[in-house]
Amino acid sequence: MTRCCDAFTNRRVLITGGLGFIGSNLAARLVDMGAEVLLVDSLIPQYGGNLFNIAGIEDRVRVNISDVRDEHSMHYLVQGQEFLFNLAGQTSHLDSMNDPYTDLEINCRAELYILEACRKRNPDIKVVFASTRQIYGRPEYLPVDEKHSIRPVDVNGINKTAGEWYHLLYNDVYGIRACSLRLTNTIGPRMRVKDARQTFLGLWIRLLVEDKPFEVWGGEQLRDFTYVDDAVDAFLLAAASDDANGRVFNLGGDCVISLKELADLLIAINGSGEYVIRSFPADRKRIDIGDYYADDNLIRSVLGWEPKVPLREALARTLSFYRANLPHYL
Ligand SMILES: NC(=O)c1ccc[n+]([C@@H]2O[C@H](COP(=O)([O-])OP(=O)(O)OC[C@H]3O[C@@H](n4cnc5c(N)ncnc54)[C@H](O)[C@@H]3O)[C@@H](O)[C@H]2O)c1
């Protein structure tokens, strides 16, 4: 990462969703690089934003509690910024089915507000969008590369697709430099662990730390995981390189693992713990994508990114963070 460190020294950076899991980890890295960081977050209670996520850097960032659905705020907030990491989002797939309009407003319509604000007030800004592997739907082949068809299985996947494509459109039509990272399951300190709304793994970690059994649904499914520091590397590389403009990149992990193997690994690292295998709840099964793992060769070759933190280490660091800090996340 040394190669792009200098790109952010004394540079003005806006992070939407900056009090969330990935946004706050990105903010911590950027302030260490000497960037002037502004975090915009709505802190809607059931989402992943948490003021504790910036404990230790709160004096080195500016925080604006705003909603990206507020067009007027966005017009003001993008002004003077050199980089925009666009991470604000409604992230629950199930919630997007139960309340599709809220997902539409946040993950689709608000992206247009943000991009229109850039077009009208700050067309020189560079934007990196946080997209998701969910947009591919059920894989037709594995590993999934960026050429895979887009066939979302839930409302969230459709709105994230639109959000991503607006960014590409504004890059192509208006020259607002933008690119998109299609994240797979990202894990690490500051992830939401309260319940399984966002990710099953968060709840597993919470229950392990509380010394309670957790549920593994199915168990045979294959997944890959990116440690949050590696995801942050990817955001910074994508922001710093004009080779990324107008492109989409998958992020993957250092290995592929079944959910049952993941549960066993977590328990081995923790030194104790129990789980029960259950069948998928019906409402989740309907929108489940089955096995998934990414082909991330494109970002490796174009931007020189690679995941550096092995899964075992990623899980150990995450467990240790929640052992020390769980009450702040309940
Ligand atoms: N964590 C993952 O595994 C993963 C996987 C794929 C994609 N992503 C994408 O990465 C981005 C960040 O995810 P995360 O894991 O850090 O989630 P997170 O929930 O921790 O962070 C999202 C942040 O956005 C904020 N937010 C939500 N709605 C908002 C609104 N209307 N206005 C302003 N702020 C709002 C939330 O308060 C939260 O702080 C999201 O866009 C998500 O779709 C994450």
Per-10-residue mean pLDDT of the chain, 330 residues long, equals 76 98 98 98 96 98 98 98 98 95 98 98 98 97 98 97 98 98 98 88 97 95 98 98 98 97 97 94 88 98 98 98 97
Q: Name the burial class of residue 296, with classes exposed (0-12), middle (13-18) and buried (19+) by CB atoms within 10 angstroms of its CB.
A: buried
Using DSSP, state whether 283 is helix, strand or coil: helix
How much is the pLDDT for 54? 98
How much is the pLDDT for 108? 98
47 lines ligand 1 (CB under 6 A): yes
Contact 135, 180 (CB under 8 A): no
List the beta bridge partners of residue 186: 226
Q: Both tokens of residue 263?
A: 């549960």
> Phi, psi at residue 196, to the nearest 5°?
-90, 20
This model's pTM is above 0.95: yes
CA pseudo-torsion sign 55, 208, 229, 80: negative
How many other CB atoms sit within 10 Å of the CB of residue 61? 21
Using DSSP, state whether 48 is helix, strand or coil: coil
Candidate from 25, 47, 154, 289 with most ligand 1 atoms within 8 A of CB, to mutate? 47
48 lines ligand 1 (CB under 6 A): yes
Counting from 1 in the atom list of ligand 1, the atom nearest the Cα of 185 is 3
Could you tell me how far CA 223 lies from the centroid of its own chain? 16
Question: How many whole angstroms from 91 Cα to the centroid of ligand 1?
Answer: 6
- Tokens 């793994």 belong to which residue? 201
Using DSSP, state whether 314 is helix, strand or coil: helix
Length of the chain: 330
1 lines ligand 1 (CB under 6 A): no
Question: How many whole angstroms from 66 Cα to the centroid of ligand 1?
Answer: 14
How much is the pLDDT for 1? 57
Question: How many whole angstroms from 202 Cα to the centroid of ligand 1?
Answer: 14
How much is the pLDDT for 3? 53
Q: Both tokens of residue 3?
A: 């190669």
Q: Name the burial class of residue 246, with classes exposed (0-12), middle (13-18) and buried (19+) by CB atoms within 10 angstroms of its CB.
A: middle
22 lines ligand 1 (CB under 6 A): yes
Single out the residue of 261, 251, 228 nearest to residue 305, CA to CA.
251
Q: Cis omega before residue 327 (within 30°)?
A: no
List the beta bridge partners of residue 214: 275
Using DSSP, state whether 244 is helix, strand or coil: helix
- Residue 144 is classified by DSSP as B
How much is the pLDDT for 15? 99
109 lines ligand 1 (CB under 6 A): no
137 lines ligand 1 (CB under 6 A): no
231 lines ligand 1 (CB under 6 A): no
How much is the pLDDT for 5? 66
Question: How many whole angstroms from 272 Cα to the centroid of ligand 1?
Answer: 31
How much is the pLDDT for 196? 81
